[in-house]
Chain A
């Protein structure tokens, strides 16, 4: 069983909510691990430590609220966040902000080149052949 990641900024419940949301954005496929399987959430403090204090406070509230929602509703919220960039509807600006917060955090962790301490699989950057070099 994967150890529960600890954070100086988020509670265990908030981290579990982030993992649920991360799995919706990044569910994995035959080649790539899911957000949860990769274990990249272990490194969440490296990202949120640089967040504005007000943004971090809002993130905590949001993740706590999202924890209590069923997965189907979480999926709808993620979908609305993405839709809000293509069309206008009531609260579209709020959903765009929500997408920047959640999508940004999940993908920053997933494509950071870091993975969980117990994950033996290659990380997404290796699988993509991402190798920035100046030759």
Chain B
């Protein structure tokens, strides 16, 4: 087991795969007969671009999706200490919201994120954080079925994610915002805020499963197109966004991929 290893790129030779990277500031190469890439939608496509696959597989980087997420918060009269207790202990399973293309989560924000999303700059920061213990939050997660985005290398290093909000996202957000506002009013909120900053903790796609290298990057056996020694198994393989948290689907794909690998061993 090699921990704290930062993989940079890989090279496939006739009988082995070399992964180059660094560990504690020192260059390191790892060798194996096969490699399984599982660096996620933010990690796997950039690694493959750095390895020179951008031209060989035109579909690499395409179909990036992410469930755009937005935070809303409300100030209440009473101290609610929403940051205490079990994280995500309350969910909303009302299928009517899912049918309308959004869902809610009770993810309260630690002070860093709270102040960044809602605080602004100057005196307004202290107005918000001074009442931190009276704040309730709801996170809106939008189903990402608009035209997909892309992930690609940035000139000069780094990565660019091109995922603009489309009309479908905005319509769902407006609908969800109205529902959240009604919830907050029912709770007796004295003030409500809707943060315009979209974010996401569900990056998906960019190295998608498919049959055409022009549109995908991984075949149905989880091989990178044209590379029998390289498997990909993480959320980057999602051909589209499932509309719900991706962890369980990643686990199901891992189970399926492991069966394929054992069969091919």
Contact = CB atoms under 8 A, between A and B. Distances in A.
Interface string A16-40: 0000000011110101100000000
A60 B73 CA distance: 34
Nearest to A131: B84
A1 to B, nearest CB: 26
Contacts of A79: 121
A130 B125 CA distance: 16
Interface residues of A, number: 34
Interface residues of B, number: 28
A103 B116 contact: yes
Contacts, number: 73
A114 B36 CA distance: 39
A129 B132 contact: yes
Interface string B96-123: 0000000000000011100110011111
Contact of A31 (B121, B130, B154, B197): B130
Q: Nearest 8 A-B pairs (CB), nearest first?
A: A54-B158, A54-B157, A111-B111, A111-B112, A85-B196, A25-B121, A128-B132, A29-B126
20 contacts: A24-B122, A26-B121, A53-B158, A54-B157, A55-B158, A103-B116, A103-B121, A104-B116, A107-B112, A107-B116, A107-B119, A111-B110, A125-B111, A129-B81, A129-B133, A130-B83, A132-B83, A132-B110, A133-B85, A134-B84
